[in-house]
Structure 1
């Protein structure tokens, strides 16, 4: 057992209230993790950008607590060209030989873990993800820092669930709570972090079951982070409100532009991913090759390096952004930065380096908003356009479109500036971008809605489930996780990784069904294995879970699985165990029944 026997019932998850308490703990850890990561990243960027590259990307107001670029040397084309490739090489070594899961954006892997891996995340992922991201962004790669902070929190949530012996449903919830904590802390967005976590896993839905835990974790992480780094939002913004309705047509134009460039971004990013996956190079060299191309782009536009948040703060402050290489400014320079940021981000993350996509999406959208605002000033000087509101609205709307997360895009930006004054404009532009972008998403593992996700087997239509008999869909059953009642618990623990199961069907000498043993709930700690070896048999800790027969319905089987918190169920005929059914088996049978019913309806 993971806990001594007396403490198991005290610390195990007993219901929603237990989840809420552990969400607070996850938020606390996520806040400290985000602070440590941001400190290390900002210190690294201070050294590389200031001493090697010789370029000052600016600093968001919320990061002034950390190290910043105080002294900037002369611009070094040599370092600009080769530093992203050097960083990519180190990242490639980490992701190829130590932790493959650390490559890429991070958010997509979290979504995959939620839907398809029961919320399980390897304990080594947060550390290697943080290290790889520091190397990527510190060397000038174009990416965001939300990926590792989200995975730090998500990894802790998943590990805590495993430690507590929680089931898949609770583990997914705690994983999302950790994700919310990481986002809420690093972006100083307590509500935005929670909404992003529950919305990003679907294209047209939210994970409402996890909303309260995500809010608790995100707020706790935010308070923990700001108690150390100081209060305030990540961007310092002057007061503004949408009081001139003549600006609304310009916001509509911005929504259309966010859709066009967002569609281009998604296509380019996925194309780069596919190209690099087939590239005839060793995997550890692919991020370096991508970094070299990013360096070539940065020779012309150093503005594409890093997350881009510093440039956004400079423009919010009223600075007219001027090309470092060519000395020109104006709306088309801002549009060029946005377009080249699309390529640099796609090449950085798509080649296998580590960095988030949320941060660059904000930067690209911000440049598009600044382009519209600046162009409007040129064409319609009588409107007295202030540029920074368009910049901020573009940030949230572009992310809402490419990530299929309209509420998250709006709330996140409002939290990041500490004001909801721009919410009406955000709602207009974000809805245009989202409605037009309904067929695209930057995250490939997103699922349309909760009813198509394996994570929601319990949401299946119970009336249909109660009409489907097991024998209608199954003639043979799995037997891999069937073990003898005389097997010792220590031997079962040793065999479990090879069988890839956590719950086991117990049978007697004549294959009669005895019950179920769950290693999620019963496990001998490593330090006690020598003393307890072969002393405890599986038959002594068996859980009495009712079996079903082939004439029973899927509905009955599902209710037993949920009531007894097991992941498989024995099929018994004439007191002999024929095998077992899993959650996924019931889900697939249900889906096939619904599809067949829809085909018959269409034929009629």
Structure 2
């Protein structure tokens, strides 16, 4: 017996315990490989070519005593152009599906391709994304990590001979474990695996294996790079009187999150429609982002170090080589980061949108925190909580993943005490962004996913009750004559009819073939003991009864009394109405949002 056959023979929990451990090892090793590949590219491009220093977050060996330098500052656009050229060459030559933010591609594979990911996407995505980010491109490392782990999970499922359903689960687990590992957020990553596939639903089957995989991946990754949360540990106290201010932040974050989504896909569409070589588009995007970086180098790469400096109010280190005042720069940075990310990734570059989303939210929160500090200095002595809640509320709403992002940023900052305010802010942001998402491959619910189409098509008949059907008053009494019964069946184009007693009690069914040429009362020819349904029975049960009785109707009986008959045509009409109602639900929910 092969390994795959042995796995398939195991009960669900045991099978996914083993697979979860394997996927966790994959997530840990792929995250480490990608992490150090980015560092190598940063050394080549930013350190060696540009002579530039960029801040590191506390959880990655960074320090709050940071001094910005860029010996060859003018080469920043050159670095990003070269990065875009190399990325475009790799992607469009070997694996075009590796363009853009990898998480969305992995989500698409789950819904539309039975979890299939081509093996060549894995090395292409790794190298192209490392070059894009390492050269200064405004992108995150979580998307590529998600696609790497999901891709290897897909390959592993094929090698083990797993079913398409298990391959899809392996892809979803890979997404959550990969992101949870590289962010050092195992709990949030496990929940993300279930939440990120939908805008208003959860893939609950993947939570159990994701918990295992994220724990294993985090252990491997942390053993090498350390277990300190990326942004250190926030030690400030929670003040419930600030809750209205967090609500305001959630409202603004939702609006800016909507801008992030709309601008990203607007620029992506513009690049795709442009009559240019696909190899040239990432070069143009890199040049545009590079010019923005000349004004504000903070927009380069992931920006984690700048977020940390902002959180600890080291505003003097947030620099601009130009003469732009620091207050103006702080106000501009969320929008400059949006534009730089749109150009880097929307042009066809390779990288994630999660980290840029956190940067945008952090600096938006910092801006509002400064405003609140000047208005209410006693209530808001520090901007740090608004920086953290800004990250959560903006990307939680923009990604339609409020629960997992809430947990992830809490893990990244050690800010458990801020949860009440963060929950309010992300809930409001989620409402403001409506049915829009930065992940275009998300579907509203499991019902709309092609991965679950058969499941819902089979079960829909089981959800519709006989009470939802029109009941017709078709019957004959046991003492009626055969001639009268044949007349009623002929007039209604029936081959059978229910027979009742004088009190309305159901006796059985009389068949036309048994009555032709006969005389006397119908009751003598009724077939007794036939199955019936009640008002609470499902159409699926009614269909089975019709198959047994060889009729196109079913007797509806309650307490032994015949209430009427449900015709096949009426059942089809009830099915059609229910299908139309379900189809309208996503549209109505979107309008309500």
TM-score, normalized by length of structure 1? 0.74
From the superposition, tell whether residues 595 and 410 of structure 1 become closer, same or farther in structure 2 (CA, over 3 Å): farther
Instruction: Find the aligned partners of 1:53 and 1:387 in 2 and give their Cα distance.
Output: 32
Instruction: Find the aligned partners of 1:6 and 1:191 in 2 and give their Cα distance.
Output: 33
From the superposition, tell whether residues 467 and 221 of structure 1 become closer, same or farther in structure 2 (CA, over 3 Å): closer
From the superposition, tell whether residues 324 and 6 of structure 1 become closer, same or farther in structure 2 (CA, over 3 Å): closer
Instruction: Find the aligned partners of 1:202 and 1:409 in 2 and give their Cα distance.
Output: 14
Which of 380, 390, 393 is the matching residue for 2:389?
393
Which of 60, 63, 76 is the matching residue for 2:72?
76
Aligned residues: 480
Instruction: Find the aligned partners of 2:262 and 2:436 in 1 and give their Cα distance.
Output: 9
Which of 280, 287, 293 is the matching residue for 2:282?
287
Instruction: Find the aligned partners of 1:228 and 1:400 in 2 and give their Cα distance.
Output: 29
1:417 matched to 2:417? The reply is no
Q: How far is the alpha carbon of 1:240 from its aligned partner?
A: 1.7
From the superposition, tell whether residues 417 and 167 of structure 1 become closer, same or farther in structure 2 (CA, over 3 Å): same
Q: How far is the alpha carbon of 1:132 from its aligned partner?
A: 0.5
1:450 matched to 2:446? The reply is yes
1:63 maps to which residue?
A: 60
Instruction: Find the aligned partners of 1:324 and 1:121 in 2 and give their Cα distance.
Output: 42
Q: How far is the alpha carbon of 1:35 from its aligned partner?
A: 1.1
2:330 and 2:363 in contact (8 A); partners too? yes
1:156 matched to 2:152? The reply is yes
SS of the aligned residue for 1:141 comes to coil
Which of 43, 46, 65 is the matching residue for 2:43?
46
1:111 and 1:445 in contact (8 A); partners too? yes
Instruction: Find the aligned partners of 1:455 and 1:74 in 2 and give their Cα distance.
Output: 50
Q: How far is the alpha carbon of 1:33 from its aligned partner?
A: 1.4
Q: How does 1:31-430 map to 2 (within 5 A)?
A: 31-64=28-61, 74-243=70-239, 245-320=240-315, 321-328=317-324, 330-430=326-426
Instruction: Find the aligned partners of 1:68 and 1:107 in 2 and give their Cα distance.
Output: 31
1:492 maps to which residue?
A: none
From the superposition, tell whether residues 6 and 168 of structure 1 become closer, same or farther in structure 2 (CA, over 3 Å): closer
Instruction: Find the aligned partners of 2:459 and 2:328 in 1 and give their Cα distance.
Output: 59
2:55 and 2:66 in contact (8 A); partners too? no
1:482 maps to which residue?
A: none
TM-score, normalized by length of structure 2? 0.76
Q: How far is the alpha carbon of 1:335 from its aligned partner?
A: 2.3
Instruction: Find the aligned partners of 1:367 and 1:127 in 2 and give their Cα distance.
Output: 33
Q: How far is the alpha carbon of 1:465 from its aligned partner?
A: 4.1
1:51 and 1:73 in contact (8 A); partners too? no
Post-superposition, which runs of at least 4 consecutive aligned residues in structure 1 deviate over 6 A? Answer: 67-72, 600-603
1:575 maps to which residue?
A: none
1:431 matched to 2:411? The reply is no
From the superposition, tell whether residues 595 and 349 of structure 1 become closer, same or farther in structure 2 (CA, over 3 Å): farther
2:180 and 2:190 in contact (8 A); partners too? yes
Structure 2 stretches of 5 or more lacking a match? 465-538, 542-571, 585-593
From the superposition, tell whether residues 205 and 592 of structure 1 become closer, same or farther in structure 2 (CA, over 3 Å): farther
Instruction: Find the aligned partners of 2:445 and 2:577 in 1 and give their Cα distance.
Output: 20
SS of the aligned residue for 1:381 comes to coil
1:265 and 1:342 in contact (8 A); partners too? yes
- Rg bigger for which structure? 2
2:17 maps to which residue?
A: 20
Instruction: Find the aligned partners of 1:317 and 1:367 in 2 and give their Cα distance.
Output: 12
Of the structure 1 ranges 341-350 and 45-54, higher mean CA displacement relative to structure 2 is found in 45-54
1:84 and 1:294 in contact (8 A); partners too? yes
2:114 and 2:451 in contact (8 A); partners too? yes
